[in-house]
Structure 1
Amino acid sequence: MKIVYDPDISTTLYSSIKEVIKESIQAPCSCGCDEIYVSLQEENKIDVKCYDCGTSFFELEVEIDEETTDH
């Protein structure tokens, strides 16, 4: 199963997202496509959907650790 990520999603999250997808999606979409698109919906919410037809498999809330720097 191929996974395509929205360019706005941090690459540090890829492995965690991939793990959840592998545990949750066992078969291709009902349209027959086996490609997944992971899109950023809001700052901390992603949508995992079929790359071809856009059917949403599920949404995830992700926690993003932001580094703060003091000036």
Structure 2
Amino acid sequence: MKCPKCDSNLRKVKVKVQDAETKAISYQCPKCDYFEFEPISSKKVIEELRETPLKINLKNIFCKI
């Protein structure tokens, strides 16, 4: 694949998404920092995140008076 901005070759990179086992595939340009995600793999990651229960971590905040 070629970069639409600078016409150099794009690198295929597997991107780890927090709380997802599946990795999304991204195409990144080493020269101009252009990137795009492959639609099929990113949809799989989004579906996987929707299926997992939401985890909320609460931290106690203490204030000095």
- RCO higher in 1 or 2 (8 Å CA, sep ≥ 6)? 1
Give the TM-score, by structure 1 length.
Answer: 0.34
Higher strand share: 1
Give the TM-score, by structure 2 length.
Answer: 0.37
For the pair shown, which has the larger CA radius of gyration, 1 or 2?
A: 2
